[in-house]
Each structure stands twice: as structure tokens, then as C-alpha cells.
Amino acid sequence: MIANNPVAIAVLQCPNCSKEYDIQQVQSYATCCNQPLVTRFDDLNITKADILTNDDSMWRYRAFLPLFEDDNVVSLGEGWTKILSLTKLAQKHNINSLLLKDESTNPTGSFKARGISMAVSKAKELGINHCVIPTAGNAGGALAAYCAKADIGATVLMPAHTAETLKEECRLFGAELILVDGLIDACGKLARQLSTEKGYFDMSTLKEPYRLEGKKTIGLEIAEQLDWELPDVIIYPTGGGTGLIGMWKAFRELQAVGWLTGKLPRMVIVQTENCAPMMHHFHHRNIEDFKPRASLALGLAVPYPFATDLMLQVIEESKGTVRTVSEQDLLEGIKLVASEEGYLLSPEGSATYMAFRKLLNEQWIGEEENVMLFNTGSWYKYR
């Protein structure tokens, strides 16, 4: 049984000019400044007693989530994933602690379940009857599953080169699957077209406000699981950026209610050399020179992320950085972690380990620090 939400929900807000948008109405993004909309909470009158500790899903944080009616929750048991201690690798690299937040055990096998659970729940509450999503793979499967649960129509737009497992799960969940030549940006163009022509609601990354709210539960969870003391460094595989921005939003909200009083982590964006738009932006390179290519890490092949400004803000505020890894690094990292620790990482998860090694060698990370890596999806889905 999910408790009523005690949070005073104010508005959706443009992060650039602070223009407010009515949270009671269907909204997409801040058209004023072409930015994502962010939920702003007023009067966060929450105590730790409001955490639903008998609920082993992300909905234990119902008090932090902008849903008005409990009957609209669409859940498959997502969230409350384990934090694993990579003790052998920590010893090998002579670092204080090396942790792994393993999101592969979520429904549909990836962290996408969190954002989609919240977004589909809100779509149900707002009376939306058909959603469309451009996806590199995992988000499409998640949307198909949660829309099936909610009796909402789903159309998934996916690059034709995506792994067959990711295509088949969409079909099995009953979604309309359309394969597109190119990367996710080509899928995004078709999503906008279908939204205009057929009235489908566009669930593109950060083109609607609520996937961000679901993803922020990662940050809430990390804080609770680590007894309200965060790691020194969090290394995150970043495509569209929802998880990165969501975690940082969670940490700020936890500061606002007084549950976090120590320093916040330095946040690290990891991308593949084949598709590294944030490296270009971080180093103020000419984005016109950027030539994106496909990657083994499907979720990192996001050439033109909509939330570039918010991602850079997280890196700046946290005193973080951006790193890239090669395609060969992705394969090497999977083998190294599997052979040392017995965990099979997705290519995106492997990217975080290989970036950690680079940062340690550069002495950007110190041996006395606590570091968290991320495995965002299941290796088994990439066959």
C-alpha cells in the first residue's frame, strides 16, 4: 500500500529563466528557452519516517515523487538495487573502496525502468493514451513494458543496428516497433513527426519532465543505502544525461530536508570516443567538428543530448569532469571485471571502470577516496 504523498508540489520550471509551467496540465519541455522542464518542490516537509521501508522499490520514496494519486502508480518492482563492493579490484588498485551500483536487476534489465515507471505513471494520471519514444534500446523495452501494464499504447523507434534481444522484447510487450537507419537522433526526428501527425506523447529523454523524477531515485537510494554519507566520486555512463542530472537533483533535495550534511560527490561523465558530445562541450570545442558513430555501448550513442546545459552545470557544481573510453576499452573492461569479481557488466558499465582506471592513473582520484561505479544494464541484453 503506497502512502499519500506529503510533498507540496509547486510547479514545473524552466531551469534557465525560471518561467513556471502548470504541473496539472500535460507538458513537454520549456519552450521559452528550449530547455528541459524541472519539477520544483516547495515546503519539503519530509522526515525519514516518510520513507516506505516495507516497499523494496523506488516507490519507497513516494514522498519525493510528483504523482497526485496513488491509483496512478505503474510499477513492476523497479529500484532498490544493490550496491556491490568490488573488494578485489579495490585492493588491486590500492584504493579505499570501490563500489558498484548494479542497475541490471531492474525490470526489463536496465536503469531505464525507473524513469519510465514515473513517466508512464504521470502519463496515466494526465490521461495520455499513446506514447512514442526514440531509443538506443533499453528505454524502448521499458516503455513497452510499462505501457502494457498501464493499458497505454506504445510506439518504439529504434536504430536498425540495435541488438535483436532489445527489438524482440518490445514486440513481446505489444509495442509498435519501427526500425530507423541512423542513431537515436534520427529516431528523435521521427518521434517529433509522429507526435505532430498522430498526437502521440513524446517520451524523448528530457523532452518531458517525469523520467527525470524517476531517475533521481537512484540518488535517494544511494544516500539511504550508504547511511547518508555519499562517495567521494561517482562515475556515470552518460548518454542523454537523465540519470546524472536526476542524481544531482536528489542530492540537492536531500540537502534541503537536512538529510545530507556532508560534501557531495565529484560527478564524472563517461562517454565513448565514438560518440562524445559532452567532451566537446566540456572543453569548448567546436561541436560542428563532432562526427558521431555507433558504439557497443548503445546507451552512450546519443549525439546531440537535449540537456547539455544541465549536465555541464552538474559537472561545474560538483567540481567533476568528463572522460572518454575507446571501443576496445569497453571490451577489455567487461573481461577484467568478470574475471576479477564475477560480475558481467554492460558496455556502459565497463566504461565506468575503465574511466576509473584513467582517473586513478592521472591522480584525479586519490587512493584514500571512496568511488562508485555504475552498471546501468544487463550484459545479457546485448546479444
- Decide if pLDDT at 8 tops 60: no
216: left (phi over 0), alpha (psi -120 to 50) or beta: alpha
- Decide if pLDDT at 102 tops 80: yes
**Distance, C-alpha 82 to centroid of its chain:** 16
pLDDT in tens, 25-34: 999 999 999 9
- The owner of cell 586513478 is 360
Q: How wide is the angle at C-alpha 356 spanned by C-alphas 352 and 358, nearest 5°?
A: 120
Alpha-carbon distances of 331 from 104, 335, 337, 340, 354, rounded to whole Å: 18, 7, 10, 15, 10
Q: How confident is the model at residue 315 (pLDDT cuts 50, 70, 90)?
A: very high
* Strand boundaries in 135-170, DSSP class E: 153-159
Please give the Cα distance from 273 to 358 (Å, whole number): 14
pLDDT in tens, 221-263: 999 999 999 999 999 999 999 999 999 999 999 999 999 999 9
Sign of CA dihedral 288, 290, 291, 294: negative
Q: How confident is the model at residue 3 (pLDDT cuts 50, 70, 90)?
A: very low
Q: What is the pTM of this model?
A: 0.94
Q: How confident is the model at residue 45 (pLDDT cuts 50, 70, 90)?
A: confident
Number of neighbours of residue 197 by Cβ within 10 angstroms: 8
Task: Name the β-bridge partners of 271.
Answer: 324
pLDDT at 9: 67
Residues 6+ apart with CB under 8 A from 374: 100, 101, 103, 111, 234, 235, 236, 237, 243, 348, 349, 352
- Helix 242-256 and helix 308-318, axial crossing angle in degrees, nearest 10: 50
- Decide if pLDDT at 166 tops 90: yes
Alpha-carbon distances of 48 from 3, 69, 82, 228, rounded to whole Å: 14, 21, 20, 11
Please give the Cα distance from 69 to 50 (Å, whole number): 16
The three three-digit cell numbers of residue 236, written as one number: 556515470
pLDDT at 285: 80
The residue length of the chain stands at 383
Please give the Cα distance from 207 to 195 (Å, whole number): 12
- Decide if pLDDT at 5 tops 70: no
Out of 71-80, 295-304, 325-334, pick the least confident.
295-304
Please give the Cα distance from 293 to 190 (Å, whole number): 19
pLDDT in tens, 202-224: 999 999 999 999 999 999 999 99
**Among the listed residues 136, 203, 144, 204, the one whose alpha carbon sits nearest the alpha carbon of residue 170:** 144
Could you say which of 3.40.1160.10, 3.40.50.300, 3.40.50.1100, 3.40.190.10 is the CATH number of the domain covering 83-110+211-382?
Answer: 3.40.50.1100
Number of neighbours of residue 332 by Cβ within 10 angstroms: 16
The three three-digit cell numbers of residue 224, written as one number: 539511504
- What is the chain's mean pLDDT, rounded? 95
Please give the Cα distance from 122 to 210 (Å, whole number): 7
pLDDT in tens, 110-120: 999 999 999 99
Sheet holding 176-180, edge to edge: 176-180, 153-159, 130-134, 201-202
- Decide if pLDDT at 1 tops 50: no
- The owner of cell 535483436 is 164
Mean pLDDT along residues 278-299: 89
pLDDT at 215: 98
* Strand boundaries in 228-379, DSSP class E: 233-237, 266-272, 321-325, 370-375
Identify whether the C-beta of residue 378 lies closer than 8 Å to the C-beta of residue 110. yes
Please give the Cα distance from 217 to 79 (Å, whole number): 8
